[in-house]
């Protein structure tokens, strides 16, 4: 009692594993719930950096909330544990896969609403002086009615309006299919990086497919540097225009999160969502990936560990 228990594995990253954890209280029938990212202490530098970044990002509804960090000894191994809020809907990647299997189809309005949430998260991250550098469906978590940016392990501090430039070709930081051309040609990493990745993620929500065809790393690098990403043909003109604004090749001309929040694609979705919210309670259209006992939905405020 009064101790965190790791119940099962939710997923894995390059640093280690992610667990579903609960803390029962002797004095209460309620349990606290968290996702715990764990790493052998000797390999925990990226998780420790993520903890620092998440501390600066607290308070935004579209960024995964950080509860705290703690050390433990798991099976005799000193372990670093990073506690974040648990996403009952899994990742956006899982949902896109499910939608491809025909389990649910996202409408354009829903994609607009979820893109708004991602933009809201990106705006917060950028205002705090960070570039996420790895926005992709696998790094977006799904909560009831909400998407949240997660996995800040590759984020860069760029301050206000500044960019990080390695100057070296092919030195992009994030995941290749979501990386913008300037990161490959000049190692240029600015806030515009995340906007290109958002475009790739939005198009994937629309179609269930990545904007680039599957090919070798070398071919993909060449295509990103020399060709335009595939804009789906069977979507509305305003959705296409939104994607064009995300895929402007010049990072200085690419639209910012502030500008995109005013785009008709987002405004139209927001308007419709608020009307439907007035008439009914929105349910999570994605459903829940893992069946969770009812008691686990009830969480108490986190106490420092
Ligand atoms: N807060 C959370 N709630 C529920 N599931 C989570 C949570 N965080 C992570 N997961 C699950 O664990 C998986 C791996 O998490 P994480 O984002 O840390 O690693 P990754 O992005 O796959 O790997 P890497 O960090 O090495 O790029 C996710 O894809 C997701 O399924």
Q: Whose CA is nearest to atom 23 of ligand 1?
A: 13
What region does 59 belong to: left with phi over 0, alpha with psi -120 to 50, or beta? left
Q: In the structure encoding, which two tokens stand for residue 202, read together?
A: 């939005």
Same domain for 215 and 114, yes or no, is yes
Question: For the whole model, what pTM was predicted?
Answer: 0.87
CB 249 within 8 Å of CB 181: yes
Closest C-alpha to 96, from 286, 275, 223: 286
Q: What is the pLDDT of residues 266-304, one digit of tens each?
A: 999 998 877 665 554 444 444 433 333 333 333 333 333
- Spatial distance between the Cα atoms of 292 and 242, rounded to a whole number of angstroms: 37
Closest C-alpha to 293, from 36, 12, 24, 103: 24
DSSP state of 176: G
Q: E strands along the chain, which residues?
A: 4-12, 17-24, 31-40, 66-74, 77-84, 130-131, 140-143, 146-149, 156-157, 164-165, 188-189
Same domain for 191 and 130, yes or no, is yes
Q: Whose CA is nearest to atom 22 of ligand 1?
A: 13
Interval between CA 1 and ligand 1 midpoint (Å): 27
DSSP state of 297: G
Same domain for 109 and 250, yes or no, is yes
Q: In the structure encoding, which two tokens stand for residue 148, read together?
A: 């949240």
Pocket test for ligand 1, best of 9, 10, 54, 93 (most atoms within 8 A of CB): 10
Cα 56-54-59 angle, rounded to 5 deg: 65
Single residue among 68, 83, 98 that ends a domain in this structure: 83
Share of the chain residues as helix, strand and coil, in percent rounded to the nearest 5: 40, 20, 40
The pLDDT confidence band at residue 255, using thresholds 50, 70 and 90, is: very high
Three-class SS of 35-94: EEEEEEHHHCHHHHHHHHHHHHCCCCCCECCEEEEEEEEECCEEEEEEEECCCCCCEHHH
Same domain for 49 and 11, yes or no, is yes
Sign of torsion over alpha carbons 216, 221, 227, 233: positive
Is there an atom of ligand 1 within 6 Å of 47 CB?
no
Interval between CA 41 and ligand 1 midpoint (Å): 18
Same domain for 47 and 65, yes or no, is yes
Q: Is position 243 within any domain?
A: yes
Q: Is position 244 within any domain?
A: yes
The pLDDT confidence band at residue 15, using thresholds 50, 70 and 90, is: confident
Range of the domain at 96: 89-275
For position 67, which CATH number holds?
3.30.200.20
- Spatial distance between the Cα atoms of 134 and 191, rounded to a whole number of angstroms: 12
Is there an atom of ligand 1 within 6 Å of 86 CB?
yes
Same domain for 172 and 191, yes or no, is yes
- ipTM rounded to 2 decimals: 0.94
Q: What is the pLDDT of residues 128-178, one digit of tens each?
A: 999 999 999 999 999 987 999 999 999 999 977 677 777 676 677 889 999
Q: Which pLDDT score is estimated for 111? A: 94
Same domain for 114 and 22, yes or no, is no
Rg of the chain taking only CA atoms, in angstroms: 20
Q: Is position 296 within any domain?
A: no
Number of structural domains (the chain) is 2
Among the atoms of ligand 1, which is closest to the Cα of residue 150? 17
Same domain for 21 and 149, yes or no, is no
- Looking at the annotation, which residues are catalytic? 134
Q: Is position 303 within any domain?
A: no
Q: Is position 108 within any domain?
A: yes
Single residue among 49, 83, 117 that ends a domain in this structure: 83
CB 206 within 8 Å of CB 230: no
Q: Is position 152 within any domain?
A: yes
- Residue 251 main-chain phi, psi, to 5 deg: -60, -25
Q: What is the pLDDT of residues 23-46, one digit of tens each?
A: 987 777 778 899 999 999 999 999
Same domain for 216 and 151, yes or no, is yes
Of the chain, the percentage scoring pLDDT greater than 70 comes to 85
Sign of torsion over alpha carbons 157, 163, 166, 168: positive
Q: In the structure encoding, which two tokens stand for residue 231, read together?
A: 């804009």
Same domain for 79 and 97, yes or no, is no
Same domain for 66 and 209, yes or no, is no
For position 111, which CATH number holds?
1.10.510.10
Interval between CA 14 and ligand 1 midpoint (Å): 10
Same domain for 28 and 156, yes or no, is no
Pocket test for ligand 1, best of 44, 121, 138 (most atoms within 8 A of CB): 138
Is there an atom of ligand 1 within 6 Å of 11 CB?
yes
Single residue among 83, 99, 122 that ends a domain in this structure: 83
What count of other Cβ atoms lies within 10 Å of the Cβ of residue 303?
A: 11
CB 82 within 8 Å of CB 223: no
């Amino acid at each position: 009692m009064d101790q965190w228990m790791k119940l099962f594995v939710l997923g894995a990253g390059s640093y280690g594993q992610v667990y579903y954890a609960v803390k029962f209280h002797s004095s209460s029938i309620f349990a606290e719930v968290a996702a715990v990212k764990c790493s052998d202490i000797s390999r925990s530098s990226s998780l420790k950096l993520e903890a620092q970044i998440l501390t600066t990002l607290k308070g935004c509804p579209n960024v995964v909330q950080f509860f705290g960090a703690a050390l433990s000894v798991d099976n005799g191994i000193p372990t670093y544990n990073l506690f974040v809020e648990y996403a009952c809907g899994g990742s956006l990647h899982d949902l896109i896969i499910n939608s491809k299997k025909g389990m649910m189809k996202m409408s354009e309005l829903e994609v607009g609403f979820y893109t708004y949430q991602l933009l809201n998260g990106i705006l917060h991250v950028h205002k705090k002086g960070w570039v996420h550098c790895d926005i992709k469906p696998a790094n977006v978590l799904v909560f009831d009615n909400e998407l949240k940016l997660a996995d800040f392990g590759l984020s860069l501090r760029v301050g206000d309006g500044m960019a990080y430039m390695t100057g070296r070709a092919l030195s992009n930081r994030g995941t290749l299919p979501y990386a913008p051309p300037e990161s490959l040609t000049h190692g240029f990493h600015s806030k515009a990086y995340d906007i290109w990745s958002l475009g790739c993620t939005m198009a994937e929500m629309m179609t269930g497919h990545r904007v680039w065809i599957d090919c070798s790393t070398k071919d993909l690098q060449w295509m990103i540097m020399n060709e335009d990403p595939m804009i789906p043909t069977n979507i509305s003109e305003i959705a296409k225009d939104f994607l064009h604004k995300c895929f402007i090749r010049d990072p200085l001309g690419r639209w910012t999160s502030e500008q995109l929040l005013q785009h008709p694609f987002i405004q139209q979705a927001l308007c419709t969502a608020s009307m439907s919210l007035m008439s009914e309670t929105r349910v999570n259209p994605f459903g829940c990936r893992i069946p969770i006992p009812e008691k686990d939905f009830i969480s108490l405020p986190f106490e420092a560990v």
